[in-house]
Amino acid sequence: MRLLERVEKRLSGRRYRTAGTVLVLLFLFVFIVGPPLSVFLMVVKNWGDIYATVFADPFFSEVGKGAFRWSMIQKALVRSLEIAAIVTVVDLIIGLPMALILARYEFRGKRLVDTLIDLPMVVPTAALGFSLYLFWGSVDGLSGLLGLKTGLASRGPLLIILTHVAFSYPYIVRSLKEIIGAVDRNLEYAARTLGAPPLTVFRTVTAPLIKSGVLAGSILCFTRSLGETGATIIVAGAFYTAPLLVVEYRQLLMIPPAAFLSMILVSISAVLLASLRFSAERFGLPIKGVWPRTERLLSGKNQRRLRDLATLSLFALLVLLPTSFIFVYLFKWWSGSPYTGNPQLGAFYQVFLAPDKKLPELWSSIVASFEVAALSTAINIVAGLPMAFILVRRNLGKFKGLLDALIDIPLTIPTSALGFSFFLFWGSQGLSLLGPGFWMIILVHIGFTYPYIVRPLVAVVEGLDVHMEEASRTLGASPLTVFRTVILPTMKQGILAAAIMSFTRSLGETGATVVVMGLTRTVPVLIVQWVESLALPAAAFACVVLITISLALLLVLRYVLGWK
Amino acid sequence: MPEVRLENVTKRYGKTEAVKNLSLTVYDGEYFTLLGPIGSGKTTTLMLLAGLIEADEGEIYFDDRPMKGVPPEDRGVGFVFETFALFPHYNVWENVTYGPRVRNEELTSTRKVAEEMLQMVLLEDRPDALPDELSGGMKQRTALARALTSGAKILLLDEPLGSLDAKIRSALALDLRRIVKALGLTAIHVTNNVEEAMTISDRVAMMHNGLPEQVGLPKELYENPKSIFVMDFVGDVNLFNGVVTSSGEDFTEVTTEEGVPFRSSRQSIEIGTRVHAVVRAEDVDILLENEKDAVNMLHGTVKEKLFLLGFTKYLIELETGREVVAEVPSMRREAELRVGETITMKFTPQNVYLFQIEESI
Amino acid sequence: MPDMRLVNVTKRFDNVVAVDRLNLHVRSGEYFVFLGPSGCGKTTTLRIVAGLTEPTEGEVYIEDRNVSEVPPEDRNIGLVFQHFEVFPFMTVYDNVAYSLTIQGLDDEEIDKRVHQTLEVTGLNDVADNYPNNLSAPELQRCSIARVLAGGSKLLLLDEPLGSLDPKTRERFRFTLRSIVKGRGLTAIHVTHDQEEAMAMADRIAVFREGRILQVGSPVELYERPASIFVANFVGETNFLEGIVEKRERKTLVRLRGDLLIEAAESEFDAGSRAVVAVRRENMFLSSSGEKGVNSLLGHVIRVAFLGKLIRYRIELENGDFIEVKQPTRTGEIFEEGESAHVIFSPEKVLVYRYPKDLFHELALR
């Protein structure tokens, strides 16, 4: 045997396996789960300060003289929850029919529609917020077309809802599409031949089988809306939601209330995560009542066409057009103001020609974004791959559920709270190893992209053909040799896909980065800054650059995966 | 008990034609089987009949009623799937009564019919069981009862026995036929299992590349195959290539590539035509004593011997090097040869089938 | 040519006993078949031999060496799977060379052995192809070649012909057996197809619910099945219920409807409830024949024309149902509705004690 195989054989031994597992779990606890959970510790440690600033220190605010910060915090939480609920309902209503269309029909242009649905996922959250603001809230957008003098929805709760609806749409459609796709088509065929028109088939056969999936998708949608920070920063204006409040406290260096609010947000996320796992089976749908005549009427071909048209129109109006509007805006404002013609107000001037031209800043932030994305992705691939194997192959019993939940923690916590917990953990309040800046951004992105890598890798590992590995063993290969010669080549595509997903997410991350940045700026952060300083055309340019890069990556991803 | 007719039906998926210009008639009350290898368009045909997909061209008639545009729920067909397709969230009773319930039919008559059907398929004692508590055979019987309870007059079966163990399969096959005949239904059954098709059917359509290569009674398909494909499907065949050297009113003589003379009394083919000469393994007689005749005779050595139930199968290597398969009933003395023995084989002119070469298997 | 021994091997999965105190000796150079219905433990047992599954109790010996603690890569076995498991990202050549590469042989040696193996398995023409360009039979030969090249002498096959269509499957039986015998290997082949087992095996072990019911050659299993289950599972058999009577030294059985038949000698006492079994090929139809011992009258319910043989379903005069398989070219041919005498000789009639659950024995649920 050659040296390589001999080493692999040695390292396949039980002791090394255990050591490796311990390392992987350690990574999880220190770099991923530790910071968010440590918030609780911080709160306990600093309870005195927290009590003072949140509950006991009266201050002037819009709530009135002598109110406590606690009421502000409460208000923010309630708002966030309300918005999340509304968004979830709307997304379910417009997303479910779309998922049905994608899962069950074949038509020309389906590939295109499928790709377009992913658009909000590809657009970095700050850019998304900006584009939506321009579409709904500025004269350059929809209201201009309609001849109005002001925006249809100014910055505030309505705009936030519209933004969250667009932002969550692809997630809900994708997960519903998968769930519907998992239903055996023959069941629906059988029901048809037994005399049930399509709507009755949906109600009596498909719906009961997808209900747990729909519930899971809804909880996920709710959680995402609850935690959205990056886009919300741009469209909220003076209105504040809970995640935004965390950002504000952090920027004002009011650590104790920030910590307290973060803790509450982490707790809510944990509760939602737990409910995701336990609630699924219990809720039912009316199957008893039979309305064959009505359902038969509504199942007709023309009715179906109308429904499909409505679904596609809503998608276009609420998701596609607003998300892509930034391109239109940039085009309008490229060489100057479309109203006055002043070239100094144009994007081209602002970025390339002005004395304080934005180009160098943009360039260094692009470099920074790429560095952060590349490093965090690479580290997570190395740490996440063994974790995926542990989840799928090891017999963990009860611990599997716990481990699953822990891995999802960064997904569910609002990004600003996540960023803040890292700020506490690694910074002067915790381990005092780092200050805000480039390395802390990397650590945050490692924490935040971890689930985006582990989840798809888990899917790939689950899809591996165990028999092929067994064949390899019987041909003389030790487990590590099997990994190198059989498993890795098979997983290549999947690993690349996970890496691209994680990289793209990292590029677009805003909320957490804003909290931990020092002097380094990533592109999304730059966009936020430029929007706040009203250099809108320049911000639009940065958005378009970032979106283009992300889109290109998405297309590469599609190419790598073939077409599913 | 309707008659089912397909006329020039074509169905395309992209550029491939899954079913091309298919015309078939299934008589009222017939048990009709589509037999063919996997992927020959059989399932697509059933889906077209059920209305689950629409044909691109052609017409389908149930008793002269055109079915174009008629949705599946209005066609009165029962469909039994290979994977059973039992609703996992309903128990046996709810599955079986789904059809009538969904059409809001009267509860008491539904109950009666359902109980009757469950009895017929021997499942009356487990109405509360969920599908995942049932064995494969039970699942299939539930699926059958469900299709029957919906009042269908046409039963479409897509490899209904494919996923079952061999023993259960043969037991259920006869049950299927018995029930269909008792209820007077028209049944169209799809399978790639020859024995199943031959046992259960009135008529069989042998499918090849989406078209029925031959339709007829099982016996006809065996005794008068129209092509090598059909011939090869039932049992083993020995294929020789040759040229017609002489022919008369009721015979044709062929010399094979190996130089052996064959004589067939089945048809008359023009001299000079290139033909395939095919002899079935069970029609190859092994001679215990030498005969003088030179026509329809082969010499070789026994290379392999396999015991099948009731038959012994020999693999014989000819002097030319090619191999020939012969099957002999176990009770005969010819079944006791040993590997390595040299033997002489002969077959009658009636058993030499000739096919002109332009065909491919 | 290694031999293989299982000593008191048991495997439990949670509460289910998949393999129950198995003792078995597969002889050197044998083509041995594990036969049984799905879920009977035959595949689990094979995996225990391979080392892919650890037994809960018991030991495995290969060539007198206790390999119970030895991982699969060190047992020097070859395993062929139903779905081939050919590495899709390697050419046929590389697949076949795989185990030699792991062993660290030098390129010349590898090339020699690979070409030799490709020759034997008829894969020379497709050596540079990738698996997605191969037909199912070619894939099967590739997975066999891959195992042969490694040089292991104990070949384990898990439903190796299961993914082939019926015609190819039959032809492959010849091929597979001659490869094994030609190279002096010991083979253990798992299948649920009793025809396959009977055609290929030197000896067969019939599995059921984790136990081995009988081990024997195909002929032994056919002529002397040890239980009703084996008589039903292997080959095709007619079963009739009755009560044993003894007259002189003959064993007679009185069936329903007062029909009397003579059976092969048995040790059952007069008066015991029994089940008699006759292979369907051992019964014959005749239009002549008197009613008497071992000539039963019935009428034909269904004729199934199967080419070289015809299968008749007959309802006997006492209401029992049987099936008879006759070669088409011997004997008379009957039509549906006709009456016929069913004739069979006493030595072919086996007698079994009536079991507690006949349906369970016949595996008819």
Among B31, B195, B307, B309, most C C-beta atoms within 10 A, so best to mutate, is B309
CATH code matching the domain that covers A351-564, chosen among 3.30.465.10, 3.40.50.300, 1.20.1510.10, 1.10.3720.10: 1.10.3720.10
Q: Do domains C4-228 and C237-361 have the same CATH topology?
A: no
pLDDT tens per residue across span C131-164: 999 998 899 999 999 999 988 999 999 999 988 8
Which stretches of chain C are assigned E, i.e. beta strand?
A: 4-13, 16-26, 31-35, 57-62, 65-66, 77-80, 154-158, 186-191, 203-208, 211-216, 237-247, 250-255, 260-263, 273-279, 284-286, 295-305, 309-316, 321-327, 339-343, 350-353
> B158 pLDDT exceeds 70?
yes
Question: For residue A451, what are the contacts with CB-CB under 8 A and spacing of at least 6?
Answer: A407, A408, A409, A410, A411
In this prediction, residues B243-253 reach a mean pLDDT of 89
Which stretches of B14-56 are assigned E, i.e. beta strand?
A: 16-26, 31-35
Paired with B64 in beta bridges are: none
Q: What residue in C sits closest to A487 (Cα-Cα)?
A: C87
Q: Say if the Cβ atoms of B87 and A187 lie within 8 Å.
A: yes
Statement to judge: residues B155 and B242 lie in one domain: no
Which class does domain C4-228 fall in?
A: alpha beta
> C60 pLDDT exceeds 60?
yes
For tokens 């070789």, the residue is: B300
pLDDT for residue A564? 43
Instruction: Give the pLDDT band (50/70/90) at residue A370.
Output: very high
Structural domain that includes position B38: 4-231
Instruction: Give the pLDDT band (50/70/90) at residue A292.
Output: low
3-state SS, residue B155: strand
pLDDT for residue B33? 96
pLDDT tens per residue across span C272-284: 899 999 999 889 8
The CATH number given to whatever domain includes residue B185 is: 3.40.50.300
pLDDT tens per residue across span A434-485: 888 889 999 999 998 999 899 889 989 998 999 999 999 999 999 999 999 9
Cα C272 to Cα C274: distance, rounded to the nearest angstrom: 6
- Residue B175, domain member (yes or no): yes
- Residue B135, domain member (yes or no): yes
Statement to judge: residues B267 and B209 lie in one domain: no
| DSSP code at position A150 | S
Chosen domain end from B231, B251, B275 = B231
Question: For residue A106, what are the contacts with CB-CB under 8 A and spacing of at least 6?
Answer: none
Which of A62-76, A359-373, A397-411 bottoms out in mean pLDDT, i.e. has the lowest?
Answer: A62-76
Question: For residue A357, what are the contacts with CB-CB under 8 A and spacing of at least 6?
Answer: A350, A351
Which of A138-147, B85-94, B339-348 bottoms out in mean pLDDT, i.e. has the lowest?
Answer: A138-147
- Residue B259, domain member (yes or no): yes
Give the start-to-end residue ranges of the domains of chain C: 4-228, 237-361
Cα B294 to Cα B346: distance, rounded to the nearest angstrom: 9
Q: Give me the phi and psi of A490, to 5 degrees please.
A: -70, -30
Paired with C277 in beta bridges are: C239, C350
Of A184, A189, A200, the CB nearest to B52: A189
Strands C4-13 and C16-26: antiparallel
Contacts of the segment A435-439: beta carbons below 8 A, 24+ positions apart: A435/A518, A436/A516, A436/A517, A436/A518, A437/A516, A437/A517, A437/A518, A437/A519, A437/A520, A438/A368, A438/A371, A438/A372, A438/A518, A438/A520
Residue A196: its chain B contacts at CB < 8 A?
73, 98, 102
pLDDT for residue B95? 93
Q: CA A212 → CA A284, B278, B317, distances in Å? A: 10, 60, 64
Statement to judge: residues B304 and B325 lie in one domain: yes
- Residue B361, domain member (yes or no): no
In degrees to the nearest 10, what's the CA dihedral of C220, C226, C232, C235? 0
| DSSP code at position C355 | P
Taking the whole predicted model, whether its pTM rises above 0.95 is answered as no
pLDDT for residue A58? 66
Cα A202 to Cα A215: distance, rounded to the nearest angstrom: 17
Q: Say if the Cβ atoms of C104 and A5 lie within 8 Å.
A: yes
Residue B167: its chain C contacts at CB < 8 A?
37, 232-233, 362-364
Residue C121: closest CA among C185, C165, C172, C170: C172
Which stretches of C27-127 are assigned E, i.e. beta strand?
A: 31-35, 57-62, 65-66, 77-80
| Mean predicted lDDT score pLDDT of chain B | 88
Instruction: Give the pLDDT band (50/70/90) at residue B110.
Output: confident
The CATH number given to whatever domain includes residue B286 is: 2.40.50.100
For tokens 């809503």, the residue is: A314
- The residue length of chain B stands at 361
CB A413 within 8 A of CB A36: yes
Instruction: Give the pLDDT band (50/70/90) at residue A84.
Output: very high
Q: Say if the Cβ atoms of C170 and B236 lie within 8 Å.
A: yes
Give the start-to-end residue ranges of the domains of chain A: 46-332, 351-564
Mark out the alpha helices in A316-398 (DSSP H runs).
Answer: 321-332, 347-348, 359-393
pLDDT tens per residue across span A492-515: 888 998 998 899 889 989 888 988
| Mean predicted lDDT score pLDDT of chain C | 90
Residue A437: closest CA among A456, A417, A425, A423: A423
pLDDT for residue C32? 97
Of A186, A209, A290, the CB nearest to B81: A186
Exposure pattern of C244-263 as b/e (b: 16+ CB <10 Å)?
beeeeeebbbebeeebebbb
In this prediction, residues C169-181 reach a mean pLDDT of 87
Statement to judge: residues B214 and B289 lie in one domain: no
3-state SS, residue B17: strand
Q: Say if the Cβ atoms of C364 and B307 lie within 8 Å.
A: no
Statement to judge: residues B246 and B221 lie in one domain: no
For tokens 């039903």, the residue is: C232
pLDDT for residue C293? 66
Residue B188 identity (one-letter amino acid) = I
| DSSP code at position B79 | E
| Mean predicted lDDT score pLDDT of chain A | 86
pLDDT for residue A287? 45
pLDDT for residue B36? 86
* Higher-pLDDT residue of A311, A2: A311
In chain B, which residues touch A (CB < 8 A)? Answer: 47, 50-52, 71-75, 77-79, 81, 83, 85, 87-89, 98-104, 143, 146-147, 150, 152, 156
Check if A183 contacts B (Cβ < 8 Å): no
- Residue B207, domain member (yes or no): yes
Residue C222: closest CA among A143, B330, A451: B330
Check if A189 contacts B (Cβ < 8 Å): yes
Q: Say if the Cβ atoms of A186 and B88 lie within 8 Å.
A: no
Domain C237-361 is found in CATH 2.60.40.10: no
Statement to judge: residues B213 and B278 lie in one domain: no
pLDDT tens per residue across span A515-542: 888 888 899 999 999 988 888 889 999 9
Instruction: Give the pLDDT band (50/70/90) at residue A286.
Output: very low
- Residue B285, domain member (yes or no): yes
pLDDT for residue A279? 61
Choose from A209-213, A341-345, C54-58 the range with maximum mean pLDDT. C54-58
Residue A478: its chain C contacts at CB < 8 A?
71, 73
Of C51, C79, C89, the CB nearest to A471: C79
Q: Give me the phi and psi of A144, to 5 degrees please.
A: -60, -45
Instruction: Give the pLDDT band (50/70/90) at residue A61.
Output: low
Of A467, A468, A481, the CB nearest to C102: A481
Among B77, B95, B102, B188, most A C-beta atoms within 10 A, so best to mutate, is B102
Statement to judge: residues B247 and B220 lie in one domain: no
Question: For residue A492, what are the contacts with CB-CB under 8 A and spacing of at least 6?
Answer: none
Paired with C156 in beta bridges are: C79, C188
Chosen domain end from B186, B206, B231 = B231
Residue B104: its chain A contacts at CB < 8 A?
290, 292
Domain A46-332 is found in CATH 3.40.50.300: no
Q: Say if the Cβ atoms of C307 and B138 lie within 8 Å.
A: no
Neighbouring chains to B with at least 3 Cβ pairs closer than 8 Å = A, C
Among B44, B49, B73, B97, most A C-beta atoms within 10 A, so best to mutate, is B73
Domain count, chain B: 2
| DSSP code at position C292 | B
In this prediction, residues B288-309 reach a mean pLDDT of 81
3-state SS, residue C49: helix
Residue C148: closest CA among C175, C102, C181, C183: C183
